[in-house]
Amino acid sequence: MSDNNYKFTIDNYQIIKHGEINFKNGITLIVGSSNNGKSSIFKAFKQLIYNLSGNNYINQSADKCRLKLDLNDNTYIEYIKYKNKSLYNIKSNENINTLEKLGVNQIDDIKNLSNIDKNKDYNFWNQMDKPFLLSKNNREQFIMLQESPISNNLLNIQDNIKSDIKSKKDNILINQGKLDIISSNILKFNSILEYTDLSNNFINNVNNLNNLNTKILNINNNLNELNKITEQLNKISIIKNININYSNNIFNSYKAITDLISKLIEINSKMNSNINNINILETKLNSLESFKNNNFKICPVCGNSLDNHKINIEGEC
């Protein structure tokens, strides 16, 4: 069926005396308890679209049943079934076409309007049936999907995807060109940065050289000052050496005088000792002389004869 909303009207079909169902795009589920006409709705719809034979579906209280499918574009399909005959009223393009000798095949106008093919019965899923399409073989599934309005949507989606892919590829190419330009600019910028780095390094080296020259000048100035100080120190050292030599001479002279005084003191002490010894000897001599004058013939000290008596320098006999 086409992508439109439908109104399905049922009169006197099996247990349904009257009912209206609005179908919208997508899948329609009919839910209800048993024996309330769910299956009758499916059968009525198939009866309308497929031109099924038989008349045992007419409600027992009626002599006919009526099924009608209204389309949004003021087009409808109407099926009326009497006990002994049946007919279709088909309205399309403001014209109503009535068909009475129907046969048992699906009517082309109905198939075209409803976009439902009896030989490709994929639009209905009855109670207790297998899930949608699982009861069909691969070929039937492919044909159904290929001829379904959904396939047109899929094709449109596929075309849109292809268009989007192409657009994205074009954008990628454009962006790639922009990236190439940006990459080229980055390389140029990197070259400029490298040149800038070299320039900065050169400037830094020049500054370092200037600083080094300044330091060298400062060192030279310090060396000059140091030389001046060294000259002053040399002068002071000469004076100091002179003073040291002079002091050494004075010290040596003082020491010689001190030693001379010590020797004089020692000589004086020996002279005083000798004087004392002389005085003692004189005293002894005087004593001896007094003994001798008194006619002593024997020395009272040693007991020897005084005639041959001798006394040494120390006053000993």
Q: How much of the chain exceeds pLDDT 70, in percent?
A: 76
pLDDT in tens, 203-234: 888 788 888 888 888 888 888 888 888 888 88
Q: Are 299 and 306 in contact (CB under 8 A)?
A: yes
pLDDT at site 78: 92
pLDDT at site 9: 94
The residue among 135 and 98 whose pLDDT is bigger is 98
pLDDT at site 192: 77
pLDDT at site 115: 79
Angle subtended at Cα 145 by Cα 142 and Cα 147, rounded to the nearest 5 degrees = 105
Q: What is the mean pLDDT of residues 309-316?
A: 57
Residue 249 predicted with pLDDT over 80:
no
Q: Are 138 and 56 in contact (CB under 8 A)?
A: no
Mean pLDDT is lowest, of 101-105, 181-185, 292-296, for 292-296
76-82 β-sheet, strand order = 16-23, 6-13, 64-70, 76-82, 86-92, 95-99
The residue among 301 and 113 whose pLDDT is bigger is 113
Average pLDDT, the chain: 78
Domain range list for the chain: 6-129
Rounded distance between C-alpha atoms, residue 305 and residue 317, angstroms:
11
**In which residue are the tokens 């454009």 written?**
174
**In which residue are the tokens 């019965």 written?**
121
Rounded distance between C-alpha atoms, residue 13 and residue 64, angstroms:
9
Q: What is the mean pLDDT of residues 257-270?
A: 82
The residue among 16 and 208 whose pLDDT is bigger is 16
Q: Are 88 and 77 in contact (CB under 8 A)?
A: yes
Q: Domain 6-129 carries which CATH code? A: 3.40.50.300
Q: Are 124 and 46 in contact (CB under 8 A)?
A: yes
pLDDT at site 1: 47
pLDDT at site 315: 55
Long-range contacts of 111-118 (CB under 8 A, 24+ apart): 111/49, 113/71, 113/75, 113/77, 114/1, 114/49, 114/69, 114/77, 115/1, 115/2, 115/149, 116/1, 116/49, 117/147, 118/49, 118/50
Q: Are 58 and 65 in contact (CB under 8 A)?
A: yes
Rounded distance between C-alpha atoms, residue 312 and residue 301, angstroms:
13
Mean pLDDT is lowest, of 130-134, 248-252, 278-282, for 130-134
pLDDT at site 179: 85
Q: Are 89 and 96 in contact (CB under 8 A)?
A: yes
Q: Are 250 and 284 in contact (CB under 8 A)?
A: no
Q: What is the mean pLDDT of residues 157-180?
A: 86
pLDDT at site 129: 61
pLDDT at site 2: 47
Q: Are 18 and 11 in contact (CB under 8 A)?
A: yes
Nearest to 48 by CA among 3, 1, 15, 95: 1
Residue 166 predicted with pLDDT over 50:
yes
Q: What is the mean pLDDT of residues 278-290?
A: 69
pLDDT level of residue 148 (50, 70, 90 thresholds): low
pLDDT in tens, 63-90: 899 999 998 778 899 999 888 888 999 9
Residue 294 predicted with pLDDT over 60:
no
Residue 295 predicted with pLDDT over 80:
no
Residue 62 predicted with pLDDT over 70:
yes
pLDDT in tens, 101-133: 777 788 888 888 887 877 766 566 665 566 556
Long-range contacts of 56-65 (CB under 8 A, 24+ apart): 57/13, 57/14, 57/81, 58/12, 58/13, 58/83, 59/12, 59/13, 59/14, 59/15, 59/16, 59/17, 61/12, 61/17, 62/11, 62/12, 62/17, 64/12, 65/10, 65/11, 65/12, 65/13
Q: Are 109 and 75 in contact (CB under 8 A)?
A: no
